[in-house]
Chain A
């Protein structure tokens, strides 16, 4: 099992550009989540999904869109990048009632 994979590992964007952060898991988990982590801070939930076709907002959803067309994939879209979105982004997956598995993260710099 590859577990939770994220691409790209690093990305530099200019203000106003859009991009999609990819997340995939091969454990057939129902739950998938996106978090962001700013320097020296804990993780904050952006969006999450409890199954294919079902998504909901977390604590800091503004500026981000998600969709869940398959169980395996949960991409995060930045609509118009802003410097405030410079962060490390983590994707996670789990089964209901089970622990979460996190990906290695995507480091994003918005200039």
Chain B
């Protein structure tokens, strides 16, 4: 499976936008880019995913580079509840990949009041 690279940690102030980067230079054409986050003492939860085009949902936006070698998760207005570890994960379409995610160490996001 293709690997992803994320910064170990990032900080933000409350109500400011946050841009969380992810590099995936070895991504293949059928790999979807997924983002999960893990709040303290909880299991991971799905945030957003995309293939080629930018995606928006109620939680966040996902901006995907034209060459797909990198992506950015955008939290438009960070809140204290967004403090979590954010994981960028590549999942190959088809087969059983959806049942076996490969988690890196993720980015620890700290949000200051």
Contacts and interface: CB of A to CB of B under 8 A. Distances in A.
Mostly, the B contact residues are loop
B49 A49 contact: no
B39 to A, nearest CB: 11
B31 to A, nearest CB: 13
Interface string A74-110: 0000000000000000101011111111111100000
Mostly, the A contact residues are strand
17 contacts: A31-B96, A31-B99, A33-B99, A35-B101, A41-B105, A42-B87, A45-B101, A45-B102, A50-B96, A92-B101, A94-B98, A94-B99, A97-B93, A97-B98, A99-B49, A100-B98, A100-B101
Size class of the A contact interface (CB-based, 8 Å): 20 to 34
A102 B44 CA distance: 6
A50 B99 contact: yes
Interface of A: 4, 31-33, 35, 40-45, 48-50, 56, 58-59, 90, 92, 94-105
